[in-house]
Structure formats: C-alpha cells, structure tokens
C-alpha cells in the first residue's frame, strides 16, 4: 500500500487531517500537521504519529484509522469515540453492507479503562505493539519501512491524502475489524497480562506507588477484604487510573509566554531589550501596540498552595444504591490519592450537613448506611455555602446522582455558588462518573470515567469461616462436619420454605434442620425421636437481631432474607449469597404495628388477617412496596399452617459448650472438656456432665487446638463440635458434638454411633452402636495418651 493510500482521509469519517498554524511541522512541511476527530477534538500531531509508526515498523502497521482511535482512547480527560464511530458506521451502511461499531467501541473502552501507567512513555508504544500484533490487514514491515523513507523525502505528498474521498465498504471494514479484539482481550486484565514481561513493573505503579502511597494501598486492601465495603474498595484504583483533577495547586508566578527561556513579549518597559529601541519610531510603536516587543523576564518557579478540600456527598433518596457506592468510592479516591497532600473534609448532605470520616473500614461501613429521607439536598447545600465564609484556600466538591442535576432547586443552588463550587461530580447507576469544573463562572466537562461494575464486582470476598483468623494462627475449621451441629437454643427467627426448616441463629448464621419420626432404637433417646441438629449454610450474615424476618429463594436460588422493623418504619431485603442489600422507609405508608411480615406465593407480605389491605414486597430487584386492597384467604390459610409447622421447632435447641479452656484426662482415665467429663452416663450412650475428679494429664492450648504430650490433638469449634486427631494414625479422625447434659454421637467420615439427632437427613454413614464406636475410637484415643505417659 502506498503512503498516500495509507494516510488517505475520507468524507464523513471518524478522523481527518487539519492544519494548526501555530505549531511548526516536522521536516519543514507545515500543512496538515494535526489529526483530529471531527467536531470533538485533536487526536495527535503528525510528528508524534510518525514516531509511533516508526516504532511499529518492525512488526508492520495496523490500519491507520484503527491506530488513530487506539491512540485517541489513551488520552487523558474527556474523549468521545463512540459517537464518531457510530455516525461513520451509519453513513456507510447501505445495500448489503451493514456496519456495526459496537465491538470496536467496547474494545476502545477497555483501552480507556487501563491504568495510566500503561499508557505513558514507552509503555504506550508497547501497548500499541501488544494490541496490534498480527492484526488483520496490516502493512508488512518491508512496506512500512519504504513508506517511512518516502515520507521523510517528500512530506508534502500528504496534501493529496488530506483531500477527502468517499470511503468504500472495504476501508471502514478494514478499520473496524482491526479494532474488534474483544475475543483476544476479553477483559482489561487480559491486556495487562499480555504486556507483562515487556515492561518494567515499577513503571506500572507510577500513579499509585509513589509519595508514600503504601498506607492508602493498605486501606484499600482492607476495604476489599471486608464484604460490606468490597464494592467501594474495588472501584478506587480504577478511579485513580483515570482521575485527572489536580492533586496540588501551583501559583502561576510570572511565567514567560512564548519565545525562548528568559525572553518574552510581555513585561515592564524597564526590561525591554535594547535592540527594540534601534527600530524606527513608527515600527517601534507598531510593535508595542501589537505586543511584538521583546522583554527580559526571569522565570519564577511556581509555588505550591496549601488548601483545604471539602467533599459534599449527596445522601438523599435519589442517590442510594449504586450511585451512592460510586459517590463514596470517588470521595475516598480523592482523599487517599497517592499525590494528595491537602487536608480533606467530608460532609454527608441530607436534611443537614453532617461531617463524616472515611479513614477506617468501620467508618465507611457506618456512613454507607446513611440515607436521608429527603428527595434532594438543595437546602443543605445552600446552607453549607451560606455558613461557609468565602475562603481562598478552600476547594469544594459536590458528588451527586446525575438525575439530581435536573432538579430546579439543586440547579439554582449550584448556579448561585458556581464561583465557590470547584468540582461537580455526577454518577449514574450503570457505573459512569462525570466530572465538571467551574472556572470563571462557566462549567466545563473535563472527564468521563466508565467503570465496568459487573467485572469489578464479579468476585466478592468470602466471609471468614468460623474460627478462622487472618493471622493464620487459629486452626482452620470446616463449614460443616460429617455429623450435624447441635441446634443453638438462642435463635433470631425460624422459617419454613418448601417443606424445609431454616433457622437464623443469634450468631447470625443461617442453619438448615429437619424433623423426623425415623429413628433406629425405639427404646432410647426419647427426646430425640423428632428433633435433629443442623448444618450451617451461611455465617456472619449482616443483620441486626430486631424486628420480624421472612425467608425465600429467588430465581437464581439465592437465599433472600427480608427484615421488617416496625419501630423504625423500615423494610429491608438482603441477598445472603451475593450480599446485595436494599431498604425502604415506610413512614408515608402509615402501616399499623399489628402487621406481620410473612412469605407467600413468591412474594413477601406485610399482613394482618383482620384487615383486607396488605402490602406486597418483591423478591427480585431492589425492594419496593405495593398496596393490595383485596383480601386473599389463601394467604391466611397458608400462614396458619406455616406457623403451626415452625412451632414444632420450639424444643429443638440445646445448650452448647462453646467456651473451651481446660482439656485433659482425669484420674478415672476419662476425658475432661471444660470441666465436663466425657463418659457414658447411661447404657449405650455418651454424655458430657460435670467432672468431679482431678485432672492428671493436661493438653497444651494454642488458640482452638489442644495438644497432649504424645501429640494427639483435640480441635474445638465454638459452634458445638470437637475434632479428635490421635498421634496413632491407625485411629481415624473422629467427631463428637459439645452439648451439655444431652445424648451425644461419635462419628468418623464413614461410621456413626449414638443419638440420631446428629445424623444428617441424607447420610451414607454406616450406623453402629455407641458401645462399639466408644471402644474403637474414644477409648483408644485416651489409651494412646496414657501409654505415652507411662
């Protein structure tokens, strides 16, 4: 392909050649020295494009239009490649040719989302080499070198390329195909991974790894590790990579304007060059009138201004949900930015302005829950500016939902205080952040950041399992064991869903249990004929033990927990699997306190059997309330049955030993657990009851692990389970529940003995007598320890 064809511009295309007369061209040719997006802005000057092509020559050149848009997507600040590409595709779609630029736009968005360090300096060239390696319709290295040599000899030939022609289908198809690299780079991280090994890793941390940024990184890591703040924490570094607001202000000083160092065309007459006086009077006066005279003026280094930032976060009803997460993430990104040294205050705007702190994970969790009942915050915003005196060293940010800027009251307050409101930040529910700057009374859009929320929020952290600590010193505990846990007596709520029983414990666990009349021995364990233990489904559920609860599953089979707090006039909904949470204030509904929260027919209801009006609450999506006037007799019938069934669980709870201190063997050769002897109180049974004898062999405690002198171990679980690991490997690992004054079980991974209260509903364990299990496992475990001591 000839150079003219490669550089050819086209009618109604997404790029064009232009001439900037103020900038001298390279190679002595000044025309057509700039490439821009029509009606949007500049892409790059010709000398820069030529240098890029020179670097790409060894692997060949990609189609010129594709290369230009990739360079354009790397730019800082506001860019618009979607609009021009779509317009071009629509213009050239005709007949059998139907162009779609969506894939190309999606790919350019990924380039835009890359951290800044990957798009700076030499990394920018490496990025382009990575993206366009082996791309379709590229110019071979040999032809690329010939074209470069031709350009250096005859740069004026570009004039012919700058004359726009009508692009045939093949031209646009060539450019779009070269930008359709989503299959090759499905995610932003895919591009980063492809560049690794080609760049120096320290360069990648240029934006976020300097100026003592470790503390900020540690804070972000803490946010990412906490499920309640994961969504906020996952956005901060991505916002950092695109944030272009100044992190410090420099006073301009008396900087030279144009010319070479120390010579300028503005200044005092006493600094005018003596050579100016050699001109004739008319020429001299004309040069003064046209600001053409030259002056000597030393450059004064800029000075850093110390200023205070105030970030105002909208907490009105319109700004809840995803926009509020984006608002707090934006605020923390500004506060914790590695290059930010100025003091920063945060104020939550609702009915009034409330100062808040975002310096700890606990602070972030607490303030994320702030929702003001007002629809818009114009009153609080106006009050802030009226009380805050005009200070030169203050810089105000206002972060709100994009829809709030349509409100006339908010618009009025913002307009009246445009000279004092430095930055306006708007958010949307789909992850878009727009930043505007007020300068000399005019608002200018300076940046748009599009965050891929689905990608960033795809892998939330798992909550720590019971007993597991971040320091790793506590012995790891599994979520469940081969046998069931004893059902705790302290419970928040009980549920019946599709014939299955669930319990929300006071330790904020979701447990599953069952009732049965099936038992192996009709003459033993009368208390346990019907009741059974439980398995743990979820732990550390973020819920307050107050009000009423209802449970169901959504279409994705996620558990949905609904909570109604009549005293606070609040209804909320939590997806236990994904941790998604939404709530609604019910003040305006005037619901009597006698209403109860129930589940029926794939919806939650606030229901009172004596009143025909009830309120339907959706299961999927954000929570909402719908008033239903017609009384449904089926709801009442179902609710009566559910209450009767759930009441059967009233006696299922047991007293669990959860505080473990002294473990050893007493002088009767019985195992002692926290002051309780483990022995057979009745025939063919195992029990824990009060120990009355001295302990002769103690186990050494390390967190939740107790180790005997021979190396045998007992691992305790505060949820009510003991794990036995003998130093004699011929004795299998076995498990005993830690329940006071009740019949226990003893089980391995394959066998079970004792009370079927602990036997799972669908178990493959072979049932043995407790006498046999005691002799083979527990007695052998104790004898191994005693033999070592002897």
pLDDT band at 751 (very low <50, low <70, confident <90, very high): very high
Query: Helix 64-73 crosses helix 46-56 at what angle (to 10 degrees)?
Result: 110
- 281 shares its domain with 233: no
Would you say residue 550 lies in a domain?
A: yes
Residue 207 — very low, low, confident or very high, per pLDDT cuts 50/70/90? very low
pLDDT digits 0-9 by tens, 164-194: 888 877 888 888 888 888 888 888 888 887 8
User: Is position 623 within any domain?
Assistant: yes
What pLDDT sits at residue 515? 86
As beta bridge partners, residue 690 has 676
Q: What is the pLDDT of residue 619?
A: 92
| Residues 670 and 632 placed together within one structural domain of the fold | no
Structure tokens at 436: 């505007």
Is 258's pLDDT higher than 50? Answer: no
> Is residue 247 scored above 80 in pLDDT?
no
Is 510 part of any domain?
yes
Which range of 3-17, 33-47, 462-476, 594-608 scores highest in mean pLDDT? It is 594-608
283 plus 314 within the same structural domain:
no
**Confidence grade of residue 467 (pLDDT, cut at 50, 70, 90):** very low
The answer to whether residue 26 scores a pLDDT higher than 70 is: no
Total structural domains within the chain: 5
pLDDT above 50: residue 483: yes
C-alpha atoms less than 13 angstroms from C-alpha of 325 in its C-beta half-sphere: 23
Going by their DSSP bridges, the two strands 663-666 and 695-698 should be labelled as antiparallel
Average the pLDDT over each of 161-175, 455-469, 542-556, 662-676 and give the range with the smallest value.
455-469
Among 155, 202, 204, 164, CA closest to 31: 155
Residue with tokens 């907490």: 315
* Cβ pair 50, 68 in contact under 8 A: no
Q: Report if residue 366 sits inside a domain.
A: yes
Contacts for 273 with CB less than 8 Å, ≥ 6 apart: 263, 293, 294, 295, 296
Does the structure show a pLDDT above 90 at 573? yes
Is 278 exposed, middle or buried (CB count within 10 Å of its CB: 0-12, 13-18, 19+)? exposed
**Averaged pLDDT of the chain:** 82
**Percent of the chain surpassing pLDDT 70:** 86
Give yes or no for a contact between 111 and 179, defined as CB atoms under 8 angstroms apart.
no
Does one domain contain both 602 and 675?
Answer: no
Q: Is the dihedral of CA 772, 773, 776, 782 positive or negative?
A: negative
More confident residue, 304 or 113: 113
- pLDDT, residue 752, reads 95
Residue 695, pLDDT score: 92
Q: Would you say residue 209 lies in a domain?
A: no
pLDDT at 747 over 80: yes
CB 654 within 8 A of CB 742: yes
Residue 463 lies in a domain: no
Mean pLDDT, rounded, for 40-59: 84
Q: Which of 711, 680, 698 is nearest to 788 (CA)?
A: 711
Among candidate residues 597, 629, 650, the one where a domain is terminated = 650
122 and 23 within one domain = yes
Give a yes or no: residue 470 inside a domain.
Answer: no
Are 730 and 635 contained in the same domain? Answer: no
Determine what percent of the chain is predicted with pLDDT higher than 90. Answer: 23
- CA dihedral in degrees (234, 240, 242, 247; nearest 10)? 160
* pLDDT computed for residue 471 by the predictor: 44
User: Does one domain contain both 179 and 290?
Assistant: no
Pairing of strands 766-768, 751-754: parallel
3-state secondary structure 639-668: HHHHHHHHHHHHHCCECECCCCCCEEEECC
Tokens of 527: 């208390």
Residue 121 DSSP SS3: helix
> If pLDDT is split at 50, 70 and 90, which confidence band does 259 have?
very low
pLDDT at 719: 94
Q: Supply the pLDDT for residue 340.
A: 67
For the cut 90, the answer to whether the pLDDT of residue 338 exceeds it is: no
**Could you read off the pLDDT of 428-458 as tens digits, one per residue?**
888 888 888 887 778 888 888 888 888 787 7
What pLDDT is recorded for position 388? 64
Q: Mean per-residue pLDDT for 716-728?
A: 93
In this predicted model, what pLDDT tens digit does every residue of 752-772 receive, in sequence order? 999 888 999 888 899 999 999
Of 737 and 464, the one with more pLDDT = 737
Residue with structure tokens 């139907």?
98
- Radius of gyration of the CA atoms of the chain, in A: 36
Count of CB atoms within 10 A of residue 471's CB? 7
Choice among 300-314, 497-511, 682-696 with the minimum mean pLDDT: 300-314
Q: Does residue 130 contact residue 43 with C-beta atoms inside 8 Å? A: no
Average pLDDT over residues 126-141: 86
Residues in CB range of 94: below 8 A, 6 or more apart: none
Q: Are residues 498 and 641 in the same domain?
A: yes
Q: How far is CA 250 from each of CA 244, 247, 347, 391, 643, rounded to the nearest angstrom?
A: 15, 10, 26, 17, 70
- Please check the confidence at residue 576 and state whether its pLDDT lies above 80: yes
More confident residue, 22 or 742: 742
One domain for residues 276 and 366: no
At residue 205, the pLDDT reads 37
523 falls in which pLDDT band (50, 70, 90)?
Answer: very low
Mark out the alpha helices in 580-701 (DSSP H runs): 633-646
Q: Using one digit for the tens of pLDDT, what is the confidence trace for 402-420?
A: 888 888 888 888 888 888 8
**Pairing between strand 308-314 and 343-349?**
parallel
The answer for residues whose C-beta is within 8 angstroms of residue 525's C-beta and 6 or more apart is 519, 685, 743, 755, 756, 757
CA 697, 702, 706, 707 dihedral sign is negative
pLDDT of 362: 81
Residue pair 261/254 in contact (Cβ under 8 Å)? The answer is no
Domain with residue 385: its CATH number is 3.40.50
In the numeric block, the tokens 């527990």 are attached to 778
Quick check: 300 pLDDT over 80?
no
- Domain region containing 284: 253-296
> Does pLDDT of 665 surpass 90?
yes
Position 510 pLDDT exceeds 90: yes
Do 310 and 418 share a domain, yes or no? yes
pLDDT in tens, 104-127: 888 888 888 888 778 877 788 888
Tell me how far apart the alpha carbons of residues 743 and 740 are, in angstroms, rounded to a whole number. 9
342-396 residue pLDDT tens: 678 888 888 888 888 888 888 888 777 776 777 888 888 888 888 765 555 678 8
- Round to whole Å and give the CA distance between 382 and 373: 18
Contacts of 49 (CB under 8 A, 6+ apart): 35, 68, 71
- Convert 281-312 into a string of H (helix), E (strand) and C (coil): HHHHHHHHHCCCCCEECCCCCCEEECCEEEEE
Asked if 728 and 779 sit in the same domain, the reply is yes
Pair 171, 238 in one domain? no
Q: Kindly give, in sequence order, each residue whose CB lies less than 8 Å from that of residue 784, ignoring residues fewer than 6 positions away.
A: 710, 712, 726, 727, 728, 731
Q: What is the mean pLDDT of residues 649-666?
A: 87
| pLDDT over 50 at 712, yes or no | yes
Q: What is the mean pLDDT of residues 148-165?
A: 83
Domain assignment present for residue 760? The answer is yes
Query: Which has more confidence, 96 or 186?
Result: 186
Give the model's pLDDT for residue 255.
Answer: 45
With the C-alpha atoms ordered 501, 502, 506, 509, is the resulting torsion angle positive or negative?
Answer: positive
- Does residue 487 register a pLDDT over 90? yes
């Amino acid at each position: 392909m000839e150079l003219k064809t490669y550089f050819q511009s086209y009618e109604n295309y997404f790029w064009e050649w232009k001439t900037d007369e103020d900038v001298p061209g390279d190679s002595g040719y000044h025309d057509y020295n700039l490439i821009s997006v029509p009606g949007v802005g500049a892409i790059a000057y010709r000398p820069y494009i030529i240098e890029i092509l020179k670097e790409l020559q060894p692997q060949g050149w990609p189609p010129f239009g594709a290369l230009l848009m990739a360079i354009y997507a790397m730019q800082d600040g506001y860019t618009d490649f979607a609009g021009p590409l779509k317009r071009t595709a629509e213009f050239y779609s005709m007949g059998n040719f139907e162009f779609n630029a969506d894939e190309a736009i999606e790919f350019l968005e990924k380039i835009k989302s890359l951290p800044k360090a990957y798009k700076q300096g030499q990394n920018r060239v490496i990025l382009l080499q990575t993206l366009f390696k082996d791309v379709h319709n590229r110019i071979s290295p040999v032809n690329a070198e010939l074209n470069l040599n031709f350009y250096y000899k005859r740069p004026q030939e570009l004039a012919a390329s700058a004359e726009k022609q009508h692009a045939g289908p093949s031209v646009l198809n060539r450019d779009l195909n070269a930008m359709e690299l989503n299959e090759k780079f499905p995610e932003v991280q895919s591009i980063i991974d492809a560049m690794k090994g080609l760049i120096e890793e320290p360069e990648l941390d240029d934006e976020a790894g300097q100026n003592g940024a470790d503390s900020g990184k540690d804070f972000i890591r803490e946010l990412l590790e906490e499920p309640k703040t994961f969504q906020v924490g996952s956005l901060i570094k991505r916002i950092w990579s695109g944030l272009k607001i100044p992190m410090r202000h420099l006073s301009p000083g008396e900087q030279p304007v144009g010319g070479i160092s120390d010579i300028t065309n503005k200044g005092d007459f006493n600094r005018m060059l003596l050579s100016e006086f050699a001109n004739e009077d008319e020429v001299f006066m004309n040069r003064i009138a046209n600001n053409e005279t030259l002056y000597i003026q030393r450059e004064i280094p800029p000075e850093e201004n110390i200023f205070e930032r105030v970030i105002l976060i909208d907490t009105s009803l319109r700004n809840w949900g995803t926009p509020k997460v984006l608002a707090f993430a934006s605020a923390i990104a500004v506060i914790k930015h590695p290059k930010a040294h100025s003091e920063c205050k945060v104020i939550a705007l609702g009915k009034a302005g409330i100062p808040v702190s975002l310096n700890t994970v606990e602070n972030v969790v607490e303030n994320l829950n702030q929702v003001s009942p007002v629809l818009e915050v114009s009153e609080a915003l106006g009050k802030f500016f009226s009380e805050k005196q005009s200070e030169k060293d203050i810089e105000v940010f206002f972060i709100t939902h994009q829809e709030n800027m349509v409100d006339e009251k908010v618009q009025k307050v913002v307009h009246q205080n445009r000279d004092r409101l430095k930055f306006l930040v708007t958010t949307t529910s789909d992850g878009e952040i727009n930043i505007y700057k007020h300068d000399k009374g005019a608002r200018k859009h300076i940046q748009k950041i599009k965050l891929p929320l689905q990608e960033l929020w795809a892998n939330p952290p798992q909550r720590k399992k019971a007993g597991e600590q971040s320091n790793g010193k506590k012995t790891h505990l599994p979520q469940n064991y081969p046998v069931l846990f004893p059902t705790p007596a302290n419970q928040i709520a009980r549920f019946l869903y599709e014939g299955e029983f669930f319990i929300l414990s006071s330790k904020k666990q979701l447990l599953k249990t069952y009732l049965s009349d099936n038992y192996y021995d009709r003459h033993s364990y009368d208390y346990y004929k019907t009741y059974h233990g439980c398995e743990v489904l979820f732990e550390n559920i973020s819920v307050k033990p107050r009000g009423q609860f209802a449970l169901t599953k959504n279409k994705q089979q996620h558990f949905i927990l609904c909570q109604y707090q009549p005293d606070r006039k609040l209804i909320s909904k939590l997806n236990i699997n994904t941790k998604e949470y939404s709530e609604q204030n019910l003040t305006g509904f005037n619901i009597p306190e006698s209403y109860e929260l129930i589940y029926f027919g794939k919806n939650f209801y606030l229901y009172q059997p004596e009143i025909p009006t009830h309120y339907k609450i959706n299961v999927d999506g954000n929570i909402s309330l719908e008033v239903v006037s017609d009384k449904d007799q089926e709801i009442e019938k179902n609710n009566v049955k559910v209450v009767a069934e759930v009441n059967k669980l009233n006696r299922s709870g047991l007293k669990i030993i959860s505080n473990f201190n002294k473990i050893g063997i007493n002088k009767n050769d019985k195992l002692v657990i926290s002051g309780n002897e483990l022995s057979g109180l009745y025939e063919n049974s195992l029990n824990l009851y009060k120990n009355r004898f001295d302990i002769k062999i103690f186990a050494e405690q390390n967190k939740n692990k107790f180790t005997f002198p021979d190396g045998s171990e007992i691992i305790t679980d505060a949820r009510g389970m003991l794990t036995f690991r003998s130093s004699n490997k011929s004795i299998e690992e076995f498990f005993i529940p830690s329940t006071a004054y009740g019949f226990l079980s003893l089980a391995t991974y394959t066998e079970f003995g004792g009370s079927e209260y602990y036997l799972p509903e669908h178990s493959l364990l072979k049932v043995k007598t407790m006498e046999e299990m005691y002799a083979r496992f527990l007695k052998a475990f104790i004898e191994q320890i005693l033999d070592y001591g002897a």
